[in-house]
Amino acid sequence: MPRDEHGNLVAGTVSPRRPIPASIPRPEYVGRAAPAPYDGDDIYTPEQVELIRESGRIAATAVELAGEAIRPGVRTDELDVIVHDYIVSQDAYPSTVGYRGFPKAVCTSINEVICHGIPDDTVLENGDIINIDVTAFKNGVHGDLSKTFIVGEARQEVVDLVDRTREAMNRGIKAVAPGRQINVIGRAIESYAKRFGYGVVRDYTGHGVGTAFHSGLIVPHYDAAPAFDQVMEVGMVFTIEPMLTMGTLEHPGAIAWDTWADDWTITTRDKALTAQFEHTLVVTERGADILTLP
């Protein structure tokens, strides 16, 4: 099993990339080293929003199907098969496949992995937590979400971390309103996380999403004021995806992290557990409408 003598994760064996029917349209970045620069904005028409919702529904259903299979003894590569096969069955493309070389249809981030874990032969164990991050591309638009699951039964402090990270995301979503600055989202998230002594990962953020996987719009999950003062507008689409950790802070407000040799997997430097939840949403006259529900 890909864990060291201390129980910390190490890289496992990644299976070959799975085929996707040629009839399914690809995002423009597939087969390229990086996406083309995005020169659009983050405001979408109601018709475009409904297309994003369709992609979001496909991604969200894939997350739930993977979640139903999570239990001790399952390999993360098995979860990738579930996600990959479902998305393809909906004539959609798994957005992560081929994005800057990422090989799989889902990111599987276990325990100390903050984000971007690659499915491999790692076996889930009782008490683990695992984040399932899926994006689907259909009709020229992406829908992106993630959810953290508990494997079997976990300690109460681990259950609390997962529950409170979900609530942190929800509080960020509730802070969304036209006329407000983007930075109020992070203020709501960080103020809640601080109540429990959790650290908020600063270097990985929410982002604009739609015709581009990542548009360039940044949504911090910490109180970044007066920076990130862009004003939210009706029709703006982006993700909110806080990552909280029980670990120690490198300096006030910051979490130290490391990158594996695969250039994707990001772990807490102190190996503390970390959880994440994410939704894609659109700003409405009344607040936010979540676009990534099954």
Mean pLDDT for the stretch of residues 72-87: 98
At 148 the pLDDT is 98
Within its chain, how far is the Cα of 121 from the centroid?
A: 21
Q: How far apart are CA 91 and CA 94, in angstroms?
A: 10
Bond prior to 37 in cis (omega within 30° of 0): no
Q: How confident is the model at residue 2 (pLDDT cuts 50, 70, 90)?
A: confident
Query: Would you say residue 1 has pLDDT above 80?
Result: no
Mean pLDDT for the stretch of residues 281-290: 98
Q: Which residues contact 42 (CB under 8 A, 6 or more apart)?
A: 208, 210, 215, 217, 236, 237, 238
pLDDT in tens, 80-122: 999 999 999 999 999 999 999 999 999 999 999 999 999 999 9
pLDDT in tens, 235-260: 999 999 999 998 666 555 567 899 99
pLDDT in tens, 258-272: 999 999 999 999 999
Query: Would you say residue 209 has pLDDT above 60?
Result: yes
At 254 the pLDDT is 65
At 6 the pLDDT is 86
Q: Is the four-CA dihedral 197, 264, 237, 180 of positive or negative sign? A: positive
At 294 the pLDDT is 97
pLDDT in tens, 23-35: 999 999 999 999 9
CA angle 57, 213, 163 (to 5 degrees): 55
Q: How confident is the model at residue 7 (pLDDT cuts 50, 70, 90)?
A: confident
Tokens of 228: 């990130």
At 252 the pLDDT is 52
At 224 the pLDDT is 94
Q: What interhelical angle do 183-194 and 156-174 show, nearest 10?
A: 150
pLDDT in tens, 148-197: 999 999 999 999 999 999 999 999 999 999 999 999 999 999 999 999 99
Q: Which residue has the tokens 């499915």?
A: 119
Mean pLDDT of the chain: 96
Do 220 and 205 meet the contact criterion of CB atoms below 8 Å apart?
yes
pTM of the model: 0.96
Q: Which residues contact 159 (CB under 8 A, 6 or more apart)?
A: 150
